[in-house]
Structure 1
Amino acid sequence: MMLQSRPSAALRAGFLGLSLLLSGTALAQEAVTIRFVHTNDIDRMSPEKGRGGFARLATVVKEEKAKGNAFFIHAGDTISPSLLSGFDKGAHIIDILNRMGVDAMAPGNHEFDLGDAAFRARMAEAKFDVLATNIIDGNGLPANTKADKVVEVQGVKIGFFGLTTETTPIESSPGTIKFSSTIDTARAKAKELREKGADLVVAVAHTPLAVDMIIARSAGVDVVIGGHDEHLLAFYDGKVVLSEAESQANFVNVVELSVNKATKDGKTTVTWSPNFRIVDTVSVKPDPDIEAVVKGYEDKLSKELDVEIGTTETALDSRRATVRGGEAAMGNLIADAMKAAVGADVALTNGGGIRADKQYQAGQKLTRRDILSEMPFGNTTVLLEVTGAQIKDALENGVSQVRELGGRFPQVSGIVAEVDVKEPVGSRVKSVKINGEPLDPAKTYKLATNDFVGRGGDGYRSFTGAKSLIDTSASQLMASQVIDYVAKAGKVAPKVEGRVILR
């Protein structure tokens, strides 16, 4: 038997490889598994009923990264609204995220709740990549953010970019910061990343679901990691993956792609198939390091926040459907406190700014923490001089989305409005009384509202340009005014009493 020498065997193998190439046979690498560990809309540090919070999220991230080829993606809404953000403007959230190995984050609209200066300060502190692809600050991107990010994993190039809903100026307080079209930006950036050699294109999108779907169907991306609507969603149409992970890290979505990359006749093709895992964090053990950081922040404020300020003699309800769907006792309490604090004729605040989503029993003690949890945005109370006509226009706006539970629903004091929700938007308010007297469209009234609504937020454009009697620079925190109001009274008994009557 003849033994073939090693050089001869190598030569033959070389000729065989060349023959395969010349005959057009594809050369393919083994499938590469890539994981995207996804969270969005998380501002609550600690778990609620054993589910959610940063420590449990951190455990999932660590476990997935230990498997290799894993990216921790945050789809925005995190520095606000939260209890501590009313004090430190979200600095504690960035500190926690800096310890968790975030690979990419897109800002959400709530990143701007505390103003453009606070947004810039938090971005400066971030030690992870913030993708602000469609955000314009001055003549370019916000400082310490990126337009995109390309990472190569075992020969597979992944391009990431971020999108922030262009409705942010209506929903939040971005100041001079502007937002270009999310859909146009997605299409242009996906094309650019493909031209740069990206095999997979991932949009990290803090946009409404309807926009997510347009991007998925028409922008040329492979994956949309979404936030904003707070759905628990894993979607695949045979071409594009769309994921959204509810909120508060109650659930963590893990999107796995098995990627095959092959070259034939000098042309590279990439195919992939997805697998979804939804992790319910009620079954996850908290990461001890992050849990300790969270506890430190909680302890720091507990002594001040847990001070009892008074008692509610009536039941209160600040659940989302309650404060956005009609008159609420909690809304009446807040509006009454605002009106009294600045000596206004009337007060109006948007129900979407009431955030704790909880119920209080009659006879329950109220603490500073309770009040600050209800108003975590750090809003202040401004005093405006407005006409009766402006008040009626504002009320029309306030009830325009009542069926959709829009955040603009008006919680009021000194006002009684009768509304027919069966009428078209803009024609629903049938009568208005101001402190018992019919509203006079030509008369001027002193109106207390929050600074967000006062500058036209949530669609309250009728207040834009109104004369300021107490402007933002001289205004006080709404939460502090409510705390003082309850503390001074000792006992409060707000109730639903027909201030906004829906028919």
Structure 2
Amino acid sequence: MQVFLSIVLVLLAVGCTTNQVSSPNSLTEQKNPTQQTTNAINQNDVSQKGMDTSSATEQNVDNQNVDSNITENDSRPVEEIHKYGEPQDTNQETQDTNQQPQETDASDDKKDTKILYLTSWEASLLPQTHNRKKLGGLAYLTQAVKKIEESSHVVLCTTGNFFRGDVKDRRPVVKALNIMGLDVCNISNLELNYGSEELKDKLEDAQFTPLCANIYEGNTRLFSSHTIVRKNEKRIAFIGLTSREAAVQSIPQAVENLIFRKPANELQKILAKLKNKADIVVVLSNLRHSDDIEIAKAFPSVNLIIGRHDVDTQNRFVKINNTMIVRSSKKKGVQLGEVNITELSTPQFHDIGPDASKFNRADSESTALIAAWQNMEKIRSEVLCQSKTFLEGEYSQIRQKETNLGNLLADIMLEKRSQADFAIINSGAIRASISIGDVTYGMVLDVLPYQNKVVALKISGKAVKEVLENAVARYESIPGAFLQVGGMSFHFSESKPIFSRVSEIKIQGEPLNLNKEYEMLTLDYIASGGDDYIMLKEIAPHYTSNKGLPDIIADYLRKKDNVYPRLEQRIVKE
């Protein structure tokens, strides 16, 4: 296959089609400053905690001469099987996205296989003004992909920065990319702004595969290093490499626990695993152009490197021996890159959008998603009331102690059903604070993103104590199980043994009676045993609210001019 690809690539220079970019005759003809400089950040593994400069000899790698300053390998062990680590496969070291080749008919066999790519999409759902034209937009990108799919087998990928990087942005990015038909993505600095856990949560519903070979949490990769996609009986391996500049480009707190290893070292390990298992090897790179060139020189088994956004149009296509490096000079979905891998031809670049000459039609499903998002943004802007104080909902605070926001939410639950004796809400359900000033419906949704219903349970005094003991059992780990309460108070000491930490429990100002039955309000999540509240699973709720808690809270706030909840010694740490 290598020999065949080499012959094909030699023939590529013969000609190109309309809107294609000519290949330079040699690397020396394209002397850009970035190609002549060495990126200092690539000299050591980068971590917000420090540098990892350990090395060891990597066995079973491609038989090739590799530049000495990009082949030094880590000695640290790598956890191979992990939910977000290496692909799990009991029969082989790599994972195919489609385990069996697609069945094709005679007409399918005549179709070429094309890789379409975006660089720095940045959640651009709407068209952008570019050179006085409206270009880009989710609806037009989606329709363009569908149009190309009519005559070709297509793999759609992005090199990273598909999120905006604004942690408060609420655009339905993953839903949009699912509709667009994204297959594979690389991770870059804008994604890392969310922090590893929130990023994983955001990608939970992704129908595409996130890749990131050289970013680690401890000894485990943040995401899979590679995947194999089968198209028309071709095995296309995709590998994701992220620039270690992301360690300083991202929000510092978001990446403080991550380690950024040398991209070339990780690539070398992966290529060893992929021997004889892929027909085409594609690297999705967020590295500098000069680094892509060094990768191409060092690893001739890589057929294609799709690089990040680059304003220099000369960098849109470079060929190093048998390795093609392609980029895009336009971002935010204004331009869609295309490489025909059946022939490994030079790339084409398609302008997309309402003012584009060719791909100017909109996809209806994408249009509906955008309309729903815009409508929700209008709904979210409704001002409900004023807050006269900062309402504390920060992770490190609300999971460790009583807060004024927790008190407000629990009290509103009791207001909704006044016959209840007390209310509890797990702090894990509370995801944001509210600043002084206008309180909007959108802020309530940020605080309570889950549409939990409020339920009422009949519970014994003995079970009440078990519930509170569970709330502080794992106090040291800052758990979401920690409770905010209304209509009750208690003391606890983390120095005491687990499940013996709670004391001085009072309900409606009276000491807890272990033999009395109480009516407790909580969320359906807790009532079903969530956060280890297993003592509640067998108790059937006798009341369930019609609305979710966010709307219950919003209804209450609409009736108030302002709110000013205080701390009331409901939860006392001894």
Are 1:477 and 2:548 matched, yes or no? Answer: yes
Q: Compared with structure 1, are the counterparts of its residues 229 and 495 closer, same or farther at alpha carbon in structure 2 (3 Å cutoff)?
A: farther
Q: How far off is 1:491 after superposition?
A: 2.1
2:422 aligned residue (346, 360, 367): 346
Q: Which residue of 2 aligns with 1:300?
A: 375
Q: Which residue of 2 aligns with 1:404?
A: 477
Q: Which residue of 2 aligns with 1:312?
A: 387
Q: Compared with structure 1, are the counterparts of its residues 428 and 260 closer, same or farther at alpha carbon in structure 2 (3 Å cutoff)?
A: closer
Are 1:103 and 2:179 matched, yes or no? Answer: no
Matches of 2:570 and 2:287, distance apart in 1: 44
Within-5 A mapping of 1:284-433: 286-287=332-333, 296-343=371-418, 344-355=420-431, 357-361=432-436, 364-433=437-506
1:54 aligned residue (123, 138, 147): 123
Q: Compared with structure 1, are the counterparts of its residues 260 and 426 closer, same or farther at alpha carbon in structure 2 (3 Å cutoff)?
A: closer
Q: Would you tell me which structure has more strand in proportion to its own residues? A: 1
Matches of 1:307 and 1:486, distance apart in 2: 11
Contact 1:309–1:487 (8 Å) recurs in 2:
yes
Q: Which residue of 1 aligns with 2:132?
A: none
Q: Compared with structure 1, are the counterparts of its residues 389 and 72 closer, same or farther at alpha carbon in structure 2 (3 Å cutoff)?
A: farther
Task: Tell me which amino acid in the other structure corresponds to 2:489.
Answer: V
Q: Compared with structure 1, are the counterparts of its residues 201 and 98 closer, same or farther at alpha carbon in structure 2 (3 Å cutoff)?
A: closer
Contact 1:338–1:448 (8 Å) recurs in 2:
yes
Task: Tell me which amino acid in the other structure corresponds to 1:310.
Answer: C
Structure 2 alignment gaps of length 5 or more: 1-60, 67-83, 85-119, 126-135, 142-153, 161-166, 186-195, 211-226, 241-253, 289-307, 312-329, 335-352, 354-361
Q: Compared with structure 1, are the counterparts of its residues 401 and 230 closer, same or farther at alpha carbon in structure 2 (3 Å cutoff)?
A: farther
Deviations 1:240-279 (A, max 9, x none): 79xxxxxxxxxxxxx995569778xxxx999x9x998589
Within-5 A mapping of 1:71-90: none
Matches of 1:350 and 1:278, distance apart in 2: 43
Contact 1:418–1:501 (8 Å) recurs in 2:
yes
Are 1:434 and 2:503 matched, yes or no? Answer: no
Are 1:488 and 2:488 matched, yes or no? Answer: no
Task: Tell me which amino acid in the other structure corresponds to 2:556.
Answer: Y
Q: How far off is 1:462 after superposition?
A: 1.8
Matches of 1:70 and 1:461, distance apart in 2: 44
Matches of 1:391 and 1:53, distance apart in 2: 48
Q: Compared with structure 1, are the counterparts of its residues 94 and 276 closer, same or farther at alpha carbon in structure 2 (3 Å cutoff)?
A: closer
Give 3-state SS (helix, strand or coil) of 2:572's partner: strand
Q: Compared with structure 1, are the counterparts of its residues 154 and 464 closer, same or farther at alpha carbon in structure 2 (3 Å cutoff)?
A: closer
Contact 2:430–2:447 (8 Å) recurs in 1:
yes
Within-5 A mapping of 1:5-404: 54-55=123-124, 92=172, 95-103=175-183, 128=207, 150-151=229-230, 158=237, 232-234=258-260, 286-287=332-333, 296-343=371-418, 344-355=420-431, 357-361=432-436, 364-404=437-477
Task: Tell me which amino acid in the other structure corresponds to 2:430.
Answer: I
Matches of 2:121 and 2:507, distance apart in 1: 45
Q: Which residue of 1 aligns with 2:537?
A: 464
Contact 2:121–2:333 (8 Å) recurs in 1:
no
Q: Compared with structure 1, are the counterparts of its residues 234 and 477 closer, same or farther at alpha carbon in structure 2 (3 Å cutoff)?
A: same
Matches of 2:467 and 2:518, distance apart in 1: 13
Deviations 1:320-373 (A, max 9, x none): 112212111111111111111122210101111111x34412xx1211111111
Give 3-state SS (helix, strand or coil) of 2:498's partner: coil
Q: Which residue of 2 aligns with 1:207?
A: none
TM-score by length of 1: 0.51
For this pair of structures, how many residues does the alignment match? 322
Q: How far off is 1:475 after superposition?
A: 3.8
Task: Tell me which amino acid in the other structure corresponds to 2:123.
Answer: F
* % same residue: 23
Matches of 2:208 and 2:159, distance apart in 1: 10
Task: Tell me which amino acid in the other structure corresponds to 2:398.
Answer: V
Q: Which residue of 1 aligns with 2:569?
A: 498
Matches of 1:425 and 1:259, distance apart in 2: 49
Q: Compared with structure 1, are the counterparts of its residues 491 and 275 closer, same or farther at alpha carbon in structure 2 (3 Å cutoff)?
A: closer
Superposed CA RMSD in Å reads 5.5
